[in-house]
Amino acid sequence: MASKVVTETCLEDYRYSFRSDILSGKVAFITGGGSGICFTIAEVFMRHGCRTVIVGRNMEKLKKSSETLTKATGVKCFPAQADVRKPLEVIAAVEKCLQEFGRLDIVVNGAAGNFLCPLEDMSFNAFKTIQEIDILGTYNVSKVAFDKYLKDHGGVIIHITALLHLRGTLLQAHVGVAKAGIETLSKHQAVEWGPKGVRVMCVAPGPVEATEGYNRLTMGVSADQIRQIIPIGQIGTRQEMGEICLFLATDMAGQLTGSTIYADGGIWMANGNEREQMQSYKQWRSKL
């Protein structure tokens, strides 16, 4: 079933940290770009001169989002419908990108599925569906982009992963397995495609405000409670994720390939009780 149409909005009062023409002349192919983090990645790229193709299953949503993005940035954005699980649809979308813009420099694999489910309640098909969207989808898009353009021109591929597999995150086995697979894939791609001038990186966001994933996965826990378990005390923003991807897409990140940026304020290393434990420790110390 296709996802429902949401109305996305662009960032207000965007302040440039990078040169505004740093991606000028480039083209990015962004799956999942119709909404959420990947919508903002598209926006940040476009604000830096990059034309984009946003890809997803729901053409109505993609059209609305591409219009919003172009209106805010003045840069061309082209919607392309494809289910990343279906190689023929991915091939058609990449071919459309090449027809429209004549090049393809950056791929962002952001299309993903998620829901909370304990292993004991998960159906065979539920587990398989997430592997197909996340791992196979990422593989399909990377392979088609590489075969059709990147192998002859170089470029950058960014996979959006997660923190779930770094610990055995409750209710997230299906996604954790998929994201671990994608991070492993990125290493193989980096080694095999590096000689062709292709860098492959993963970005693993922690909690990012104003996203479907945040609403879906935080289960009603308040923002204040979440901040308590993030070492830097701040929830991530979509703009921050966009700017990390922007950096990775530029020559400034020329030495980066085959690794993952954990963009999470340090949350994966914390177990949620660190602040309480630190408080107890301080109390104990003060009594010595």
Q: Which residues contact ligand COA by CB under 6 A?
A: 1, 3, 112-115, 117, 123, 125-126, 129, 212-213, 216
Contact by Cβ (8 Å): 226, 218: yes
Residue whose CB is less far from ligand COA, 91 or 136: 136
> 132 or 243: whose CB is closer to ligand COA?
132
CB 93 within 8 A of CB 53: yes
- Taking the alpha carbons of 186, 101, 246, 166 in that order, is the dihedral positive or negative? negative
Q: Return the number of the residue (38 or 77) whose C-beta is nearest ligand COA.
A: 38
Q: How far is the CB of 3 from ligand COA (least distance, A)?
A: 5
Q: Closest Cα partner for 248 from 186, 164, 177?
A: 186
35 or 66: CB nearest ligand COA? 35
Tokens 């104990």: give the residue. Answer: 284
Closest distance to ligand COA from the beta carbon of 149 (Å): 27
Q: Which is nearer to ligand COA, 126 or 278 (CB)?
A: 126
Query: Distances from the Cα of 258 to the Cαs of 94, 112, 158, 184, 261, in angstroms?
Result: 23, 20, 10, 8, 10
* Nearest approach, Cβ of residue 145 and ligand COA (Å): 22
* CB closest to ligand COA, residue no: 113
Q: Which residue has the tokens 């192919």?
A: 29
User: To the nearest whole angstrom, how small is the minimum distance from the Cβ of residue 143 to ligand COA?
Assistant: 21
CB of 218 to ligand COA, least distance (A): 11
Span between the terminal Cα atoms of the chain, in Å = 62
